[in-house]
């Protein structure tokens, strides 16, 4: 994991939400085309999306770098960050599935939409706070883990409530 990212390129940071929007649309398309119950769809889409991201962004770095003769903590950090991203992708897939449901309680719809918006802008917000507070890579990892945990628990609570009301569990 590198030190605090450089946010001096506003065009690159402005494209980040566009990529996230396309991710959400892609997850929605995947969820609609997977046969089965909600929990199977969410796990398949979330784990598949996270696996594709790891394969395309981190696999070569971990395979080539971590196999070297010299130990470096950045490979441990990248591995932990990949696990955090896995939980975030499953959370995002669950939020998209909840948003697509017609039987979701009306009071939960703004919360789901708000969390989806936070999911889109989460990397930008975290990068901003990391630059402002000049935190190190380990504290950045802890902040990412904490935000992912909070979003995951909130999403799990909403999912469990809906799953119980429609009889999945």
How confident is the model over 36-57, as pLDDT tens digits? Answer: 776 677 777 777 877 788 787 7
37 and 57 Cβ atoms separated by less than 8 Å: no
Kindly state the average pLDDT of the residues 23-30: 75
* CA–CA dist 41, 36 (Å, integer): 6
Selected residue with higher pLDDT from 63 and 76: 76
Show me where the domains of the chain are located. Answer: 10-166
Q: Of 23-37, 73-87, 116-130, 144-158, which gets the smallest average pLDDT? A: 23-37
* 3: DSSP letter: S
* CA–CA dist 2, 19 (Å, integer): 22
* CA–CA dist 100, 73 (Å, integer): 41
- What contacts 73, CB < 8 A, 6 or more positions away? none
The fraction of the chain above a pLDDT of 90, given in percent, is 16
> Which candidate, 145, 100, 139, places its Cα nearest to that of 122?
145
> Which candidate, 42, 46, 50, places its Cα nearest to that of 81?
50
Selected residue with higher pLDDT from 104 and 5: 104
3-state secondary structure of 51: helix
38 and 27 Cβ atoms separated by less than 8 Å: no
């Amino acid at each position: 994991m590198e030190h605090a990212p450089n946010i001096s390129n506003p065009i690159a940071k402005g494209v980040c939400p566009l990529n996230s929007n396309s991710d959400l649309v892609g997850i929605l398309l995947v969820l609609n085309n997977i046969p089965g119950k909600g929990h199977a769809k969410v796990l398949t889409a979330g784990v598949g999306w996270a696996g594709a991201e790891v394969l395309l962004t981190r696999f070569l770095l971990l395979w080539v770098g971590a196999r070297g003769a010299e130990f470096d903590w950045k490979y441990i950090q990248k591995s932990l960050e990949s696990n955090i991203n896995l939980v975030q992708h499953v959370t995002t897939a669950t939020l998209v599935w909840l948003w697509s449901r017609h039987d979701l309680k009306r009071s939960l719809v703004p919360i789901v939409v708000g969390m989806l918006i936070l999911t889109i802008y989460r990397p930008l917000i975290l990068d901003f706070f990391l630059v402002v507070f000049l935190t190190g890579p380990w504290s950045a990892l802890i902040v990412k883990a904490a935000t992912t945990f909070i979003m995951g628990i909130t999403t799990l609570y909403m999912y469990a409530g809906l799953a119980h009301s429609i009889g999945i569990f």
